Structure 1
């Protein structure tokens, strides 16, 4: 048998990320264990998984004809399906068909209209479509398939999660699953139902994470999921981290050094290499004891206003003055995370922004426009602002809806640590920041509450609840932010004086943004809030630091690759 590099190169041109053999070969060897193992790749793409599966089956003693009958390949892209079928046919020397259809349109085995037989193993690299673009019929089909499998995913779930849930329904009892998946599997809140489903569906689940980027240029980090014993009682979860895909050549050794969690003791997130299990239990204990609670119990997080054209609606003081816009129509507003100085935004801070002529004034006219405002609106129409998406769906187009003055702001994308900032400036915010209402935190406790936010338990909760994105940033969606654990109002009230006394130190640390200073400030808050529990707090601090470091390491790895690509052209 021979591989066909030229055809594989052509398949790469279809637009999918190419899965390197160093990554796929050990996965296929693990998944295909006998010459009679039946295989399904539900999104075959460039065909590397099924090509290696064919080689593996023949190595184990299967005839080319038998191997062809055992391999099932599907892809939504007709060209990918055709190329995969042609390549496998030439490798095996017998005709082989790869179906061109949506995997979500395929009925699970055993259902009324199904034509698919169950298989011993499912392998592959499912497509990744973010929830924002995952819409229409394909999304409705995917939701139906996931629900049919018993997995209730939220609207934040990307396509791959539904794909995995559907794929499990095609596996025979005692069968296996070997997939390359986004790292969101191990840490994203929306993946929690899927993690639970996988635990309940397989006896053994193993996840391999990578410290270095596997797909240079891809924004998402990836993991390998290996699950075996379909339908048998769950026994253990194994988590392990390796440097790169090259380390998988000794897959058995990698799995042998995995951190193992027995049934019932798994961490809420499947991130290897740290004290996640102890930390998960400690966070749960803090919540059970009433010391911490989800942010959504004391407040509500939402996105800021969506203007549709911040460069038009949020002006500099000089720009607003030159246009003659009345002061009564101008509201202080933030449009960038860097406009949050530390944990407190005051009117002096807004005045400083205005003095520096920053964009910090939202034009929010009343029902009757002045002559200057009418002229500005006409200018906007001349520039086509009124035809932009968010503008054209509202009447009048020039009045930005949903403008509120929240009690606090929370960074949507964070570097060192997420920042909660008390809004003492009566400012609004664009959707570049999250707006936090705090109706259940008394006015006199709000400043202390915001200081208390900067503790190791809350910072770790942010890391575990949010998502790691390209560039080493941590992203928190509103629903995820509502789940972040924060000190309870009772705990803040108990330590109000001590927390306020830490304000200046915290301000300096956040203002200068030095990681060491911020870490020291977190420890100081920990000592106030956790007291005798500082040994456990140390575990939280170490895990938070490890997760943050992993984000940054991936970012630096991606940056280095981009620099090399730019250098070599």
Structure 2
């Protein structure tokens, strides 16, 4: 069984050597080292001598504290006190267990009587209180400590936070990772009241794209920063939606998109509604128009039977179909992994024997084509819902290739493709058909769509399905916001061309440069 060394992250070893059920029993998921470092930056600014981690786990906070970058923030000696009830996970910290500044207690934090803590940093267990093994034994003491009756459906993370807030010294700081649901539920009411009444809450960082920042997490995550200074200060709101955003940060408290007076946060209301309304208002630049001013999105070609119509090159050869009875197409979203589709990339798909030939029958008189149509009828393709509505059933609608595609389904960022090939899109993409002016600024529209701001604004019109799956209909996209003609024409042409070049080889670089191009438009309004 592998053990982490120094400030290395041992989470990979632990995940490989433990079952999902074990981690579920203890409500374990893991803090990325970069997030841990940013949380430490907040709590260490008060120069704490006594630091508490109520759920030590693999020790990511202490390991990051040992890193040269973070260690320089500490001006004096400190004691790092930790709790965890899982002996297995603690066995992965043997490399640091003997450090004189670290005290590891294999005890239940909720049963601990601890006072006089200058800083608290924690990623608490995520589970319902009724699933916690010692809940009946702990309940009376906990309720006395936090001052209210616990509900069975309370998340254990909320209970950890309330207990920690009560143990924090005056002028002390706290950083907690929390499921955001805690601030939208009835059981979270006492927690919200405690944060507001005692003027503790200073910042909420909402992780909008949690799978990118927190892999294997199935709930919306937020990071809460608190300070026990009894000051009525405006609460900072931050929205993080990608790993690239995280990598560029040095200090959470200096990075935020909005501030709210403490009084605008009410214990009785869902905080997600407050957060969303504030960020939406902030994110809407003035002067934007809709996509319908530049053209229109249209669904991809619906064949009704892709197995018959979307052919691999080997199938075309097998059935001896001539070059005049097919056109190029993209039949599956997975076939496009980049921002650009060129004829060269299309030929790579052909060489990989992917289904990128779409049956396009102009003349059904050849024996080979007649035989293939008969084969389709033997398979029953002519009786499908869409095919039996067509006359003849094998004639598809005719289209010109669209220069810009947007993916129909997505879970995080929606897919955008600048189509420089002569391929058509089937229903996995919606195609944008520009009017004459839209055609003249199509590359700039592409830049907008791949930028972080474009993604956020267009996703306001998405339709949400279960399990984090989102979808666009063509009308949703046509009504979405896009910079007006004057704003688009003001973009630096040289940099736009560079985005298109980067889009073929460096997706993150293309996004970063697109964000730079969009910044003057956003900040100027």
TM-score (norm 2): 0.48
TM-score (norm 1): 0.44
> Which protein is richer in helix relative to its size?
1
Q: Higher Cα Rg: structure 1 or 2?
A: 2
